[in-house]
Amino acid sequence: MNERSYSRSLKISRFWINFICVLLCILSIIPFWIMFVNATRDSASIQQSISLLPSKYFFQNAKTLLDRSSFNLPRGLWNSFCIAASSTAFAIYFSCLAAFGLIMYDFKLKKAAFTFILAVLMIPAQVSVVGFIAFLMQINLMDSYVPLIIPSIASPAVVFFMHQYMKVALPIDLVQAARIEGCGEFRIFNSIAIPIMVPAMATQAIFSFVFSWNNLFMPTMIINSQEKFTVPMMVQILKSDRYRTDFGTVYLGITLTILPMLIVYAFLSKYIIQGIALGGVKY
């Protein structure tokens, strides 16, 4: 094939590939777009036609939504934030702690400990939820945020990630030098290891936060009181009979529950995508 026809067939391929990719991008966006638009329309128009342009009923829908006391979105946002932020902080800090222990020290059970963490890495929380709930009932910890936050101290996947990162990033000489200066081990961890781990912690923090925020299953199993509901749980309220005829209101409600993660993504998409790529390549 000569140069010119090769480059032309390349251009044609490139065109069609870009075309298909644009279609896929539209596919990823259009449900959200319709959602935004319908959140600004009234129920009657929603049932008659599709529109790609917003209308004027935003405030009316907002009023209907926030008037019904069972949908206390600000409360839900705060609840979700508290749970997500706390469990993220615990997961990150204690995973670094564990990784540090596994890297810096040689002890008899070291290999066993690491193998254990690898082994339980992929066990989903669902398989132990029945025993977990029964256990919580016995110690009277149902309907509380404690069982949603404290278990994050033991996050095998995060430990694994921190371990891989720390192995490469932490200069052991630095630690030795600090020891010679008389620094305690825990202080070495906090003042030397932690600052070095900041990029890894940031990446993991995003994923951990998003995962915790989006989690529907665990909170559903544990929380009963409506004022403690998390945002995903509140989405289910929107599905109830109350809103059956208020379509615009439902779309607005969905929009508001999606907004937090949309904002997170708007600012952090670059890091998130980098993090995904990082996570997958190890294998």
Partner 1 sequence: MIETNAENIKREVKRKKNKINYSKYGYYFILPFFITYAIFQLYPLLYTIFLSFNKYIKPAGGAAIGPKFVGLGNFVDIFTNNRAFGEFTLGAFENTVFIWIINFIPQILISLLLAAWFTDKRLNIRAQGTYKMLIYLPNIMTAASVSLLFYTLFSFPQGPINILLQKVGLLDKPFDFLNDGMSTRLIVAFINFWMWYGNTTIILVAGILGIDPELFEVAEIDGATSGQIFRKITLPLIQPILLYVLVTSLIGGMQMYDVPKLMTRAGSPATNAIRTVTMYIQELVGTGSKDYGHAAAISVLLFIVTAALSLTLFWLMREKDTEGQKK
Asked if 25 interacts with partner 1 (CB under 8 A), we say: yes
Measured from the CB atom, the residue of 88 and 147 that comes closer to partner 1 is 147
Asked if 86 interacts with partner 1 (CB under 8 A), we say: no
Listed in order, strand segments (DSSP E) in the chain are: none
What are the angstrom distances between the C-alpha of 64 and each of 74, 167, 278?
15, 55, 45
State the amino acid at position 144 in one-letter form.
S
Asked if 202 interacts with partner 1 (CB under 8 A), we say: no
Asked if 178 interacts with partner 1 (CB under 8 A), we say: no
Asked if 14 interacts with partner 1 (CB under 8 A), we say: yes
What are the angstrom distances between the C-alpha of 4 and each of 8, 15, 28, 37, 204?
6, 16, 36, 47, 48
Contact residue for partner 1 among 192, 197, 221, 252 (CB under 8 A): 221
Residue 163 exposed, middle or buried by CB count within 10 Å (0-12, 13-18, 19+): buried
Asked if 113 interacts with partner 1 (CB under 8 A), we say: yes
Asked if 128 interacts with partner 1 (CB under 8 A), we say: yes
Smallest distance from partner 1 to CB 105, Å: 3
DSSP string of 90-136?
HHHHHHHHHHHHHHH---TTHHHHHHHHHHHTT--GGGGHHHHHHHH
Contact residue for partner 1 among 66, 73, 82, 129 (CB under 8 A): 129
Q: Are 149 and 143 in contact (CB under 8 A)?
A: no
With CB under 8 A as the contact rule, which of the stretches 61-69, 106-114, 164-172, 197-205 interacts with partner 1? 106-114
Smallest distance from partner 1 to CB 76, Å: 11
Q: What letter does residue 192 receive in the DSSP assignment?
A: I
Asked if 88 interacts with partner 1 (CB under 8 A), we say: no
Smallest distance from partner 1 to CB 195, Å: 17
Asked if 183 interacts with partner 1 (CB under 8 A), we say: no
Contact residue for partner 1 among 84, 102, 170, 192 (CB under 8 A): 102
With CB under 8 A as the contact rule, which of the stretches 55-63, 69-77, 150-158, 194-202 interacts with partner 1? 150-158
Measured from the CB atom, the residue of 119 and 202 that comes closer to partner 1 is 119
Provide the token pair at 254: 């969905």
Smallest distance from partner 1 to CB 123, Å: 6
Contact residue for partner 1 among 10, 12, 174, 177 (CB under 8 A): 10
Contact residue for partner 1 among 63, 70, 123, 198 (CB under 8 A): 123
